[in-house]
Amino acid sequence: MNRIIHQLVFDVVNEGTLFAVWGENVSGQVLACFKPNKPVPAFKYSASGKQELMRKFRGEKARFYEGCAQFFKLAKEYEGMVWLTSPSIGVYLRENGEGSMLKMVPGGECDPVSVSNFTAVAVLPPANTSIVDGVKMMQEQVLRVGLNEGWGLALS
């Protein structure tokens, strides 16, 4: 494989499942991707390279958003360059230092973001306006908004 990509994939199996998939051949809706900048252990490719993040949402959006947030934490673990491929989730990253918020915009691999410089992620409904791009926020605020309206997770 000439390039390694890790993808966040939603599939309707098991009443809704989120998978983290290593590789480019996937079935289901791809929501986000990252390219690792750190070596990936060979075992990650076993069982078709699929890792189940969350299953059986049954319409529970908070569980869906939690699984999405876990994917961004995984991206940070592998010093990944992430990009959003679907408008079905709103993703906000809190920058290290001053705490400026970055709203990820779906657009593909042409505009990846290094998660190494971010301390928290909030995954919200796409039309949510509780967090504004460029605004400075304390990490606790980001996590609180995330937990109240989607899901928030510290990345470090």
Size of the chain in residues: 156
Q: Structure tokens of 73?
A: 């934490």
Full DSSP string of 77-133: HTT-EEEE--TTSEEEEEETTT-BEEE-----TTS-EEGGGEEEEEEE-TT--SS-T
Alpha-carbon 51 to chain mean position: 14
Tens digits of residue pLDDT in 79-111: 999 999 999 999 999 999 999 999 999 986 667
List the chain domain ranges.
Answer: 6-154
Those residues whose C-beta lies under 8 Å from the C-beta of residue 78, and which sit 6 or more positions away, are 6, 34, 36, 37, 38, 40
Tens digits of residue pLDDT in 122-151: 999 999 999 999 999 999 999 999 999 999
Kindly report whether the global pTM for this prediction surpasses the value 0.95: no
